[in-house]
Amino acid sequence: TTELDAEANLTFDGSTLAVTGILTVDDINLNGKVVTITGSTDDTFSITAGTNGATTIATVDTAGANGNLTVNIDGYIELNAGDANGSFFIKNSGTSYGTIFNSGNDFYIKSFISDGDLKIQGVDNNSAITALTFDMSAAGAAIFNDDVTVGDDLFLSSDGSRIFFGAGSDVFLTH
């Protein structure tokens, strides 16, 4: 049984089914692996079901501008990966830049770029600032942009540790 809303018109040319107007569908079962939605100037959004459940969501802007994917949810967004570490990878043009994952009860943020720093940024009085930099070329040395407040003890974990004072580090305290 097929019911069509009065606002929808269907045409079929032997290979393509076209819908003009509004078509209301309750459930769709597609026997194929790609759904493509074409927008203005042949821009496309596609969902592709791949091997072993791998799914790709892609946008293509034929004008060469950057296509965007906006997720606008009334509630919250849940990312739930089923691998052993719950991993999420951050890539740009196929190059892996980092990952967010867990191991045991620990939460990790990891950079993949050799000697590429990890930075925490924000806005202070309408100016962009880098509040904290982890210098990966210096074994993750933490560089704070301004004051550091410690709520309790400050431990220097190796004998011979030093605290330096002044721009030229000309005054220091040695353990």
Contact 115, 137 (CB under 8 A): yes
CA distances from 16 to 13, 19, 48, 49, 78 (A): 6, 10, 19, 21, 36
pLDDT-derived band of residue 7, with 50, 70 and 90 as boundaries? low
Calculate ∠ Cα 105-52-77, nearest 5°: 50
pLDDT digits (tens, 9 = 90+) for 87-133: 888 998 889 999 999 888 899 999 999 999 999 999 999 999 999 99
Exposure on the CB side of residue 120, measured as CA atoms within 13 A: 9
Per-residue model confidence (pLDDT) at position 93 = 84
Q: Is the pLDDT of residue 139 over 80?
A: yes
List b or e across 60-83, with b for residues whose CB sees 16 or more CB atoms inside 10 angstroms: eeeeeeeeeeeeeeeeeeeeeeee
pTM for this one? 0.69
Distance CA 134, CA 143 (A): 6
